[in-house]
Amino acid sequence: MAKIELNDVSVTFNTYQQKRVGLKEYLVNRQFWKPSANPVLRVHALNGINLSVRDGERIGVIGHNGAGKSTLLKTLAGVYPPTRGTRTVEGRICSLFDITLGFELEATGWDNIQYRSYLQGETPTSIRTKLDQIAAFTELGDFLNIAVRNYSSGMMMRLAFSIATAVDPEVLLIDEVLAVGDMAFLNKARARMRELMKTSRLMVMVAHDLETIREMCTRVIWMTRGKIVMEGKPDEVVSAYTAAVSGTAA
């Protein structure tokens, strides 16, 4: 059984009003420099989020830029620990965002498929059957024999997407704006994503495309400034959001 439980979760980032002051800059200007010249800014990206998602639910997250959607997804994935509150996620997670991060640049495509598959919980036996399927999906052919340092960004995307989606996820976390290479690969990737959405036990998807949300989700969450302002049936929440955005809300 897969489930997600967020209890009063907040995520705060500390950032600086200006760029960080380096050692050289500090030494040169130290008689003039004061910490108050560059105060810490606290960004409350998530603010007291309560969310309970059960097996079988497909959640869509909508909201304007900077509302906290990606931070929510990354908190669910375990990338950001909550500054306050508790996070419980049960089930094998597949995160479809930032998928090209963390590759071994000096290793070949084949080696990276192995390394990543282990990180995704595969065993030497289970990898044996999947290796060829992943390689075939990339359509990278002999390029899989060279170091990924030499890949174009589109080739990296193909490799990363093929590996990330070769799992049998229980909890699927998707950022819709995943750019996955050229048109030919994009169509194939979209088809695979839809398949994963149908087969995973629970999904949370961040999307700006409201039609995809209406079509794919069982519940929608609308976020503003790190808070959930409305949640419920896709049609109702999307209509309220659209009305608010176009300025026709009552």
Ligand X SMILES: Nc1ncnc2c1ncn2[C@@H]1O[C@H](COP(=O)(O)OP(=O)(O)OP(=O)(O)O)[C@@H](O)[C@H]1O
Kindly list the residues in this chain that would bind ligand X in the complex (CB under 6 A): 13, 15, 43, 45, 63, 65-71
Q: Which is nearer to ligand X, 37 or 43 (CB)?
A: 43
Strand, helix or coil at 177?
coil
Q: Which is nearer to ligand X, 12 or 239 (CB)?
A: 12
CB of 229 vs ligand X, minimal distance in Å: 13
Q: Which is nearer to ligand X, 60 or 68 (CB)?
A: 68
CB of 14 vs ligand X, minimal distance in Å: 8
| Nearest by Cα to 4 from 219, 233, 244 | 219
Enumerate helices (H) and strands (E) in the chain, giving the number of each. 8, 9
CA angle 174, 86, 41 (to 5 degrees): 80
Q: Which is nearer to ligand X, 80 or 103 (CB)?
A: 80
Distance CA 17, CA 19 (A): 7
- DSSP letter for 222, please: E
CB of 208 vs ligand X, minimal distance in Å: 7
CB of 198 vs ligand X, minimal distance in Å: 25
CB contact at 8 A, 178 and 97: yes
Distance CA 215, CA 194 (A): 11
The amino acid at 70: S
Q: Which is nearer to ligand X, 12 or 114 (CB)?
A: 12
CB of 71 vs ligand X, minimal distance in Å: 3
